[in-house]
A and B are shown apart, each in its own frame.
Chain A
Amino acid sequence: MSDGLLGYLLDPANWQGGGVRASIPELVLTHLWYTVQALVVAAVIALPLGLYIGHTGKGSFIAINAANAGRSLPTLGLIILLVVIMGLGFGPVLIALVILAIPPILTTTYAGIRAVDPAAIDAARGMGMRPLQVLFRVEVPIALPLISSGLRNALLQLVATSTVAAYVGIGGLGRLLIDGLSLNDYGRVVAGAVVVAALAIVLDLLAAGTQRLVVSPGLTGRIPKRQLRRTAPAAPAPALAPADGVAATTSTPETSTPAPASSDRDGASS
């Protein structure tokens, strides 16, 4: 039975381009393209907004509640609603994807900026930094673990939602799932599910790796311990977010993987 179910996935014909149907690599590329477009648009909107709200404290109510509101929106319903109103095509799907990707980025950006130790900001001001310098040279680097975990969260959300969006006719790996279901071709369904799951896991690991590269080692405690024995434990403080709604976000598993995990590793080994 499992042989039959894995048949589609293991059939070399489905991996080569040029056929009538899109090959699996082509579907992966289409899927990535949707995801990247939506992530970029969402980041362009949510990052500046989150920085502004976090830095000034104006409108923090929106930022705190965005994540919960976004999480409670049923993705399939939003996509179908936009398609029924606006007609078929990638436009309405892109809008839906962006709407779903904004909240995690916005909330974590806000939370990251808010959680920066006020003493660090005071010190930066005391050194004569202008407000924008304080923001980009002190607050953003310190908030980076949370900001990038918000981006990772959004990325996963987008990979998943692009799959569901195949229901309204766009391409990508969801095609295998949706077409397979309507054709009763479970081999195709399984192929789609396996590939999309693998894609999500690989993207998440890549994002985690990128996060390790861009986050200052002074924050994650990966600097040798004798240099930073006293300061390193203070750094994961951003994980203790100020308000409840924010705390809820930061405790999402994939959100907290890198930042707190590194501090855990530290605690375990010391």
Chain B
Amino acid sequence: MIQYLQNNVAVIQAALSQHVFLALVPVLIGIVVSLPVGYLAVRFGFLYHPLLNLSGILYAVPSIALIVLVPTIVGIQILSPLNIIIALSVYTIALLVRVVADGLKSVDPLVTEAASAMGYRRLRRLVSVELPIALPVMLAGLRVATVANVSLVSVGALIGVGGLGALFTRGQQLDYTPPIVVGIVLSVLLAAVCDGIIVLVQRRVTPWTRAAGRIAA
């Protein structure tokens, strides 16, 4: 095991950095897309159920199916890293749209009315009242999406682009456990680190939840 690590530092590093890239770019895309879409779902009530049912259905599609279907739909190479990024972005968006919508819906109407009465216009009320109140719910969803993305990337190894997943397929071909164990451990650690970072950000940006007690665990 130690020897495998020593001999393959470069391979492992390359796999890890590809993994980080493939896992986190979709998270960023997901945030950028799902905030406005989730807002629209709440702002225009008739959109709420269609949008949320659609995201529920997209979320049900197995990742590997999505990864190989994306090139057929978008028209790119089937073995391109872009497939993984697009597929995982779809998942992240499907997950976060619901979270954003539910977060915004959870804002007490009395609070928004009070903000309006104080002269907040719609945009300012959204940014400085509704979003902060919805933030704990949204960040909890973001944690789920990020952790899921980190572990899903390795499925991409089946089409040859899977970050740490490449270590799994290599271990299978060589009938040799060290690369597999290293891949699993690094993947789980990476997920834990990303999760921890979001928790720290959450503590920074929503200090009031800690005052309230248990929410900011």
Contact = CB atoms under 8 A, between A and B. Distances in A.
B151 interface: yes
Given A77-B165, A80-B172, A204 B151 contact: no
Interface residues of A, number: 58
A268 interface: yes
Contacts of A174: 64
Contacts of B151: 71-75
Given A71-B144, A73-B151, A197-B69, A84 B175 contact: yes
Interface stretch (B3-11, B122-130, B209-217): B209-217
B62 A163 contact: yes
Interface string B96-114: 0111001001000000000
Contacts, number: 187
Contact of A177 (B68, B171, B184, B188): B68
A249 B143 CA distance: 10
Q: What size tier do the contact residues of chain B reach?
A: 35 or more
Contact of A76 (B72, B168, B214): B168
B22 interface: no
B184 A77 contact: yes
A245 B217 contact: yes
A204 B55 CA distance: 13
Interface string A190-206: 10111011001101100
Contact of B192 (A72, A75, A254): A72
9 contacts: A71-B151, A72-B192, A81-B177, A160-B63, A177-B64, A190-B68, A204-B56, A253-B99, A254-B56
Interface of B: 45, 48-49, 52, 55-57, 59-66, 68-69, 72, 78, 94-95, 97-99, 102, 105, 137, 140-141, 143-144, 147-148, 150-155, 157-159, 162, 164-165, 167-169, 171-172, 175-177, 180-181, 183-184, 187-188, 191-192, 195, 214-217
Interface of A: 2, 5, 68-69, 71-78, 80-81, 83-85, 156, 159-160, 163-164, 167-168, 174, 177-178, 181, 186, 189-190, 192-194, 196-197, 200-201, 203-204, 242-245, 247-249, 251-254, 256-257, 260-261, 264-265, 268
